[in-house]
Amino acid sequence: MSISRSFRVVINGKVAGHPLLRPAIEEVRARGRRVEVRVTWESGDAALFAEEAARNGLDGVVAVGGDGTLSEVVDGVCRLPLEQRCAVGVVPLGTANDFAKACGIGAGDPLDGLMLAAEAEPTRIDVGRLGNRRFINVASGGFGAEVTTETPHDWKHLLGRAAYLITGLTQVKNIRAHTLRLEGPDFTWAGRAYVFAVGNGRQAGGGFQVCPRARIDDGLLDVFVLPETPPNQLMRLLRDLLHLRADLPPDAIVYRQLPRLRVTSDEMIQVNLDGEPLRSRSHEFAVEPAALPFFLPPRASSLVAHAG
């Protein structure tokens, strides 16, 4: 890609009035880049705008918003064959911004994310798939997914990531385990679990690293399961997990790295896919290696297995 690249900025309509956004776009244009702007009105718009940009041969698409907006943009670009996919970038202006934060892309000044897309060479990263939907961060099921869905939008706007924690604390007395069966290559686990997560990225829920060993270009999905445990041990275990304790009992959690995974249950299980709740008795996950060029800063090197 040339330094005079052209790209489309896809802005979540809820953050279109951000005071620094318009000046940042004008600054990038003043530096000689061609920037198209599209603002979303309803669900699905971001994916359509992103697919159109890739189909029209633009060099990149920048998602401006939260993890949900980024997920839609990725899904839109990945509707095209691999050779037609343009690069994706992000300006994190949402509530949690989990993928951007893990990559070291700050939420302070939109100009930072825009200039990254204007100047950086993209890195090919993996893309996760749940059924026909793509994702690049984390899909979570069970209690974590329920908390994300039940957190009021107004709380997210006012409190940011703390809103998820507050909702979780108010709902912890209602936490219950689900009977699950997980199957992947050379791996089977069956039992009752409070939470499971399937990650291409590392963190969810505003910064909780549920998949701390994940790399976004290793061709694997990281699988985390929190099995049912006696009530008097649950709170201590949750606290240790939130503080990333390394000395957890070996049977306290289940952690694997797999190219694909099937999760089944006799009951409907809710999975949160970057803000979108999906309910089914069977969820099929897979990874598409090196499926998407992405604009990453140098400080994202800890997330990349094949640097350079």
Query: Which positions are annotated as active-site residues?
Result: 276
Q: How far is 304 from 103, CA to CA, in rounded Å?
A: 10
Strand partners, 257: 222
- Find the distance separating the first CA and the last CA of the chain, reported in whole Å: 16
Q: How far is 77 from 222, CA to CA, in rounded Å?
A: 23
Map residue 110 onto helix, strand or coil: helix
Other CB atoms within 10 Å distance of the CB of residue 72: 28
Phi, psi of 122 (to 5 degrees): -70, 150
Both structure tokens of 205: 């829920």
Map residue 255 onto helix, strand or coil: strand
CA separation, residue 296 to residues 82, 98, 292 (Å): 19, 14, 12
Phi, psi of 207 (to 5 degrees): 125, 5
Both structure tokens of 155: 């709380």
Q: How far is 1 from 18, CA to CA, in rounded Å?
A: 29
51 within 8 A of 77, measured Cβ to Cβ: yes
